[in-house]
Chains A and B, each alone.
Chain A
Amino acid sequence: MFNEVALFPEAASTTAQQVDRLFLFLTAVCGGVGLLVAALLISFAVKYRRRPGEKGNPPETPASRPLEWFWTIAPIGFFAVMFLWGAEVYISAYRPPDDAATVYVVGKQWMWKCQHPEGQREIDTLHVPLGRPTRLLMTSEDVIHSLFIPDFRIHMDLLPERYTSVWFQPTRIGTYRLFCSQYCGTQHAGMVGTIVVMRPDDYQRWLNLSAEGSMALQGRKVFLKYRCVSCHSGDGIARCPSLEDLYGRPVALSNGRVVPADDEYIRESIVYPSAKIVAGYENIMPTYKGQISEEEIFQLIAYLQTLGKGETPVRVEEFPPPTGTPPITTKDWPP
């Protein structure tokens, strides 16, 4: 009647092993204290039950101040260990290693859309190679979702108009479940997917199967399609800042602040261009909010990571620069 009954989920990532050790520690401490309380409750209840014929009430037992202070202070020691250990696991899950490869994930009611830097796109499935730290850069097209891979013990919300990220390092070949764990409407329970962990060479073969060019290449097409190049032309007559060698570098703003050109900054500059104005430039860029899809923004981000000095495409003159809302509508990303 029942499929594979397991008491414990599979531990298929480095994080999973850390979390399980933490779990065992917590269970040992809580189990110990719980058993102590239960043993005291039961033994007192049995030993001090009222016997037939017993007369009167028992005499007073004055409370012991030292005992009170002992059990007020003592839990703090246990709690400190739990807190520090938990914080250590959390921090290591919070900060991806430097060599992590990024996969871009967009959640929407009710599906997962993933793009690999190599150009592969997939829905409700994510292929990753064994042993490679993989960072997911995520956002949502509509409401809040949450990416949850129980066998990896990781969990992170996807927020609309904001990027969040999470990373993992798979330690076992296999297929694992992916759930949306933040309630998101009618088919929330159907917003599930599969993580496929492959041997690195199988993964390479899979990548080459139907790649339509790298994500950066697709981003370049987006860059031309929206005529970003008309203004961000990178040459002497550019009306907007050059985007060459921009990714990850500090940017001086007109209000005197300096911010890093990270993923969030790039997204904000496309969707809310007037939020941060680069020093020395005018606030002339129209918003692309509602015009450009989240996947296309990810592709632009991937493109900008590769855009080096002198690599901006040549401007094609017959297009006037966009002034109002760009007239081009984008088709939604393949079904």
Chain B
Amino acid sequence: MSESHSGEASGTRDDDSVRRNYLNASYSVISWLFTTDHKRIALLYLIPVTLMFFVGGVAITIQRLSLMSPQGALVEGDTYNKLFTIHGVIMVFFFLVPVIPTVLGNFFLPMMIGAKDLAFPRLNLLSWYLYMLGAVWTLVAVLAGGVDTGWTFYTPYSSASSHTNVAMTMLGVVISGFSSLLTGLNFIVTVHWLRAPGLHWFRLPIFVWSTYATSFIFLLAVPVLAMAFILVVLERILQIGVFDPALGGDPLLFQHLFWFYSHPAVYIMILPGMGVVSEVIPCFARKQLYGYHFVAFSSFAIACLGFFVWAHHMFVAGLSLYAALIFSSLSFLVAIPSAIKVFNWTSTLYKASITFEAPMLFSLGFVALFTFGGMAGLYLATLGMDMHIHDTYFVIAHFHFIMVGGMVLGYMAGLHYWWPKMFGRLYSDWWSRFTAIIIFVGFFLTFIPQFVAGYNGMPRRYYMYAPEYQVWNVMSSAGASILGVGYVIPLIYLPWSLWRGKPAGRNPWGATGLEWQTPSPPPTDNFDSTPVVVRPPYQYHFQKAQNEP
């Protein structure tokens, strides 16, 4: 950390470092596997979620290497198809969807509202077991034999044509879906019931708002996905005719059901990241979040409107003209709340006093990449434009800007912001800033060439391609190697900090927010006494700066 941040505002560090906390409360394996402490469960998620990220990462590494040559340098046909399915399924359902809610949400949602735990601690543990079951189940399915449908599982390919482990993989996803569903339910009840005295709705931090909105999407969308997937499984096993036209089904029905979940899932994957950034930017700008009410309500606008745009994935799928017109116009509407957030984050920096520690660099990267990727989404919402770039690398680049540029950077921002609170230690300031810059640069180099390849017509999911696309693929693969390095470095300096990091103290960033008022790492019950909230969030102008005694 920079010098200015190593000071301790509350002056209780010595007491904190020896007191009991949630980490040293007990050490047995049983005490972890049967814990109902939301903080321990968050760490239980942190490990498998990180592993899944690297499983998905290995798959894409092999693909990107192979795509250096137009004929496919390493893998072809079935192997390549299984690899992109592993990448998509693992990254979407087992990393991007759960990561911020289960790790950062689990840990900090109760603390940010001044609660001792979630409303249903044992349900929370059940969610973890469901996630683990779904993850192990799916890993077995995709590694032993594999699946080649892509993460979209389009029928009738998935239901009638593919001879791979489709049914088992889809069941694994359904199991983990119920984990998300229960977590969402838990969060909603927690926010309603367990807010500290004085913490009324418009004093909630934006991270709580956006996690709350995300939870609603879980509740409404996951059952539809589960239903659609179970129908595909039944069709494969029992030959019931739901999706396969040869059996009298409708292949487009699956696309409707799938995107009814999976478009809102895009917001499951981005809203929590927006929440993190709304915490981090005011903290390092030392400034109140600009337009709090607009930012809070825009989370809800996104969650609601997000349910009415699903068919924008089907503009060239044989949709009727009027359906296309309606879904296109609604898709533009959902861009407005996102634009509101970007303008407010930018305005928060106005007349601020900004420092650029790693969480801030990740957050600024988030804003830049999310804005860029969001505007690429406007191209895809434009009917006449989508007609050309649909299912090309333009789409790939667009949603990676949102999901990797947005969500992964948002997650990194949150992890770096709250790491000192979670473990009571500070990580290397230099390495973390370096990593933020490496990831940002690597990201741009990876995905900008894909926009060009996409507009030039390179379709997605091609293990071999026309030679004129080679230059863009080589550039993209080169960028990806930089990006990959950026993802590996934190695996070294973050664990390192657990042993060698300087003690963090209660509030190393001088942040407002209840979670910073308790020792780091927090005691099992979070707060010695229930905090009372008297002010809206982000009142940095009342906050003492970190370097003042």
Shortest Cβ distance from residue A219 to the other chain B in the assembled complex, whole angstroms = 23
Shortest C-beta distance, A146 to chain B (Å), equals 6
Contacts A23-B385, A153-B387 supplied; 6 other A-B pairs, CB < 8 Å: A2-B467, A40-B346, A50-B355, A155-B388, A160-B156, A181-B460
Grouping DSSP codes into helix (H, G, I), strand (E, B) and loop, the A interface class, with mixed when no group exceeds half, is: mixed
Contact B148 A93 (CB under 8 A): no
Residues in chain B near residue A88, CB distance under 8 A = 384
Which A residues are in CB contact (< 8 Å) with B461? 183, 188-189
**A48-B353, A157-B318, A184-B157 given; A57·B332 CB < 8 A:** no
Residue B316 lies at the interface, judged by CB distance under 8 Å to chain A = yes
A63 engages B290 (CB within 8 Å): yes
Report if B287 contacts A (CB, 8 A).
yes
Q: Are the C-beta atoms of B392 and A181 separated by less than 8 Å?
A: yes
Residues of chain B whose beta carbon lies under 8 Å from any beta carbon of chain A: 4, 77-78, 80-81, 148-150, 152, 154, 156-157, 160-162, 245-246, 251-252, 285-288, 290-292, 294, 315-318, 321, 324-325, 328-329, 332-333, 335-336, 339-340, 342-344, 346-347, 349-356, 364, 367-368, 371-372, 375-376, 378-379, 381-388, 390-392, 452, 455-457, 459-468, 470-471, 540-541, 543-545, 547-548
Tell me if A79 and B335 are in contact (CB < 8 A): yes
With contacts A5-B468, A45-B354, A57-B543 known, is A144 near B157, CB below 8 A?
A: yes
Whether A161 and B246, one on each chain, are in contact in the complex, defined by CB atoms closer than 8 angstroms, is yes
Of the listed stretches A29-37, A200-208, A278-286, chain B binds: A29-37
For the complex, give the distance between the alpha carbons of A320 and B459 in Å.
Answer: 51
Q: Which of B324, B342, B352, B471 contacts A90 (CB 8 A)?
A: B324
CB of A26 within 8 A of CB of B545, answer no
What's the minimum C-beta distance from A183 to chain B, rounded to whole angstroms?
A: 5
Contact A58 B459 (CB under 8 A): no
Please encode chain A, from 149 to 189, with 1 for each CB lying within 8 Å of some chain B CB and 0 for all others.
01101111101111010000000000001011111111111
Complex CA distance for A298 and B78, rounded to whole angstroms: 33
Contact between B251 and A3, CB atoms less than 8 A apart: no
Q: Residue on B with the closest CB to A58? A: B353
A122 within 8 A of B: no
In the complex the two chains form, what is the Cα distance from A3 to B292 in whole Å?
Answer: 52
Find out whether the CB atom of B349 lies under 8 angstroms from the CB atom of A41.
Answer: yes
Taken together as a complex, chains A and B put the C-alpha atoms of A40 and B161 apart, in Å, by 52
Is A54 an interface residue when CB atoms closer than 8 A count as contact? Answer: yes
In angstroms, how far is the closest chain A Cβ from the Cβ of B343?
Answer: 5
Q: Of the candidates A2, A26, A192, which one forms a contact with B471 in the assembled complex, judged by CB atoms under 8 Å apart?
A: A2
- When each residue 98-121 of chain A gets 1 if its CB lies under 8 Å from chain B and 0 otherwise, what string results? 000000000001000000000000
Q: By the criterion CB–CB under 8 Å, are B541 and A190 in contact?
A: no
B346 touches A68 (CB 8 A): no
> B160, B291, B354, B457 — which one has the most chain A CB atoms within 10 A of its CB?
B457
Question: A179 CA to B548 CA in the complex, in Å?
Answer: 64
A94→B325 CA distance, assembly (Å): 12
CB distance from A272 to the nearest CB of B (A): 9
Within 8 A of B (CB), among A133-152: 142-144, 146, 148, 150-151
Judging by beta carbons under 8 Å apart, are A9 and B456 in contact?
yes
Q: A8-B456, A37-B342, A186-B77 are in contact. Are A150 and B388 (CB under 8 A)?
A: yes
Docked complex: A53-110 residues within 8 A CB-CB of B: 54-61, 63, 67-68, 71-72, 75-76, 79-80, 82-83, 85-91, 93-94, 109
Residue of B nearest to A20 (CB): B388
A positions within 8 Å CB-CB of B: 2-9, 15, 18-19, 22-23, 26, 30, 33-34, 37-38, 40-41, 44-45, 48-50, 54-61, 63, 67-68, 71-72, 75-76, 79-80, 82-83, 85-91, 93-94, 109, 142-144, 146, 148, 150-151, 153-157, 159-162, 164, 177, 179-190, 192
Q: Which of B285, B371, B388, B464 contacts A37 (CB 8 A)?
A: B371
Contact at B367–A57, with CB atoms within 8 Å? Answer: no
Within the complex, the shortest CB–CB distance from A17 to chain B, in Å, comes to: 12
Q: Kindly report which residue of chain B lies nearest to residue A38, judged by CB atoms.
A: B368
Does A157 lie within 8 Å of B316, measured CB to CB?
Answer: yes
Q: List 28 A-B contacts (CB under 8 A).
A: A23-B379, A34-B371, A44-B354, A48-B353, A48-B354, A50-B286, A56-B544, A57-B287, A57-B545, A63-B291, A63-B292, A80-B332, A82-B381, A87-B384, A89-B384, A90-B383, A90-B387, A144-B157, A144-B251, A144-B317, A148-B457, A151-B457, A155-B388, A155-B390, A159-B317, A180-B459, A181-B460, A185-B148
Chain B residue at minimum C-beta to C-beta distance from A26: B379
Q: Collect the chain A residues with CB atoms within 8 Å of residue B152's CB.
A: 183
Per the bound structure, the CA–CA distance linking A305 and B124 in Å amounts to 65
Q: Nearest chain-A residue to B81 (Cβ)?
A: A186
Evaluate contact between B541 and A59: CB separation under 8 angstroms: yes
Q: Is the CB of B465 within 8 A of A90?
A: no
Residues of A within 8 A of B291 (CB): 63, 68
Top 7 nearest A-B pairs by Cβ distance? A150-B457, A89-B384, A86-B382, A90-B383, A44-B349, A161-B245, A189-B462
Chain A residues within 8 Å of B343, by CB: 37, 71
The smallest beta-carbon distance between B263 and chain A, in angstroms, is: 18
A83 near B384 with CB under 8 A, answer: no
- Most B-side CB within 10 Å, residue of A8, A9, A45, A86: A86
